[in-house]
Amino acid sequence: MGSPLRLGRREFGAHEPVIMAIVNRTPDSFYDQGATFRDEPALTRVEQAVAEGAAIIDIGGVKAGPGEEVTAAEEARRTVGFVAEVRRRFPDVVISVDTWRHEVGEAVCEAGADLLNDAWGGVDPKLAEVAARYGAGLVCTHAGGAEPRTRPHRIAYEDVMADILRVTVQLAERAVELGVPRESVLIDPGHDFGKNTRHSLEATRRLGEMAATGWPVLVSLSNKDFVGETLDRPVKERVIGTLATTAVSAWLGAQVYRVHEVAETRQVLDMVATIAGHREPAVARRGLA
């Protein structure tokens, strides 16, 4: 890890793990089946996530997987007003929006978003231009060239981490050239996006190579299919596998964690940071009384 990460009003030290809490404004999200589609449950979720230690709220208006078509106008309808309300209620929280469309990026930045989470790897190159224009941060993700909302089919890489590094670093460098603040650009290996389970496992195993680039690394591991297939567990039984993967990722140098379970992730990250010597124990009485 290199220089501090700056997002919105917040600055995070080079060894400070950061939690990004997922708030889906979709009726068909894979994990909670639309539990935060309506405003009040979604705002309650934000309040709880912040109380449990999330510094970033990631708001999404379209689920990642296949499903009913969601136009840019509908995606904006689901997210823009909500971004404005979260900004009003939580002035210091970092607001991220998970979108690949520049039209939506423009609208949410106008409403107060600090970070654009481009999970589909620059499929709309104008999104980085929007981030630059508004001084917002940008997540540069490896998606293996996949079209948004498609599942991978027999995808192959000669060296998956080499491809991840090539794509994400190129996207990050382009963003900075366009004017996105360098300290606000992150790279993401894109677990499950354009990858099979073995690819995602290798990306995790070799995550240190991403951290070595100097760009802050974001990982989106939470309850994903590669965890489910590794352990043969359905969506609702993937928390333990997710937390194990989180601990490994933290040890290898990831900094930002996009998650559903905030409190559990906070404990895992605090434990790893303390073992690594970057954080003091909350209490250290044993053997001293």
Catalytic residue among 258, 279, 285, 286: 258
> Please, what's the b/e burial string for 216-232 (b: 16 or more CB within 10 A of its CB; e: otherwise)?
bbbbbbbbbbbbbbbee
Catalytic residue among 101, 174, 224, 238: 224
Q: Supply the DSSP symbol for 130.
A: H
Cα torsion for 150, 64, 62, 40, to the nearest 10°? Answer: 160
Quick check: is 63 catalytic? Answer: no
Q: How far apart are CA 177 and CA 163, in angstroms?
A: 21
Quick check: is 224 catalytic? Answer: yes
Sequence-ordered list of residues with C-beta below 8 angstroms from that of 88, at least 6 positions apart, any chain: none
Q: How far apart are CA 126 and CA 132, in angstroms?
A: 10
Q: How far apart are CA 105 and CA 99, in angstroms?
A: 7
- Annotated catalytic sites, by residue? 224, 258
